[in-house]
Amino acid sequence: MTDRVMEVLRRLRAGREAFAPGPALPVVDQVVATVLSQATSDVNSGRAFARLKDRFPAWEQVADAPPEEIADAIRCGGIAERKARRIQEILAAIEDREGAITLDRLDGLDDEAAESYLTSLPGVGPKTAACVLMFSMGRAAFPVDTHVHRVTTRLGWIPPGTSAAEAHRLLRPMVPPEVRHELHIALIRHGRTVCQARRPRCEECVLREVCAYGSDPARRRSAPPDATAARPRGRRAG
């Protein structure tokens, strides 16, 4: 499986600049930023985060503000009332446990314990926890968002219909730790531009020869283009 993973990464690397991780946010910032990223674009979620921080420079201010003011600040990120409520619930839980709105204690925990702490927060699922571990803490996590889920399903790495939580459990050990960050970003980019949900551009895909879906015309004819994207079951996993 490692050879298959590395071949996919090699093909996705072709013609692109060498991968370099972006700047890391503090842990609490990354938790909130990931909540804001749900069901919207990177551009809109980035704007929402910037507006929230501009209006409320300290997380204590966000925790204490009327929910409608939080929602107003993040309106451009979509489903603002729901996200405002979730952000305040998370901040309240952190303050209740830590005595302040900080997650510095996670630095002293191993990956499993840090993930367990994060997923115990209100509405924080495996994707949000993995994003925090990888982006903020430099840990060898492997977040599975909707694009990663869809592309890896079509590649044949996980079975169709695999839940979000199960996809995290299955995919993480498949991907060598040293390339998890790079592959995560590469799969998201590929899912947005080529392996799209409803109209995958298989004819021009660099992964076609190593893709279970793309290399099998019969499979593409018999299944709706988005059928390989697993649908979440139960509560939304963030």
> Which of 83, 86, 127, 147 is the catalytic position?
127
3 state DSSP class of 37:
helix
Which spans in 74-179 are helix H?
A: 80-98, 111-119, 126-131, 146-155, 164-174
- Kindly list the distances between the CA atom of residue 142 and the CA atoms of 89, 194, 198, in Å, as whole numbers in the listed order: 25, 21, 25
Whether the CB-CB separation of 174 and 187 falls below 8 Å is answered with no
Please confirm, yes or no, whether 127 is among the known catalytic residues: yes
- Residue labelled with tokens 């015309």: 217
CA dihedral 195, 199, 204, 209 (to 10 degrees): 60
């990956």: which residue's tokens?
111
Radius of gyration of the chain (CA): 19
For residues 64 and 196, what is the distance between their CA atoms, to the nearest angstrom? 40
The Cα 149–Cα 80 span in angstroms is 25
Instruction: Report, as residue numbers or ranges, the catalytic residues.
Output: 127
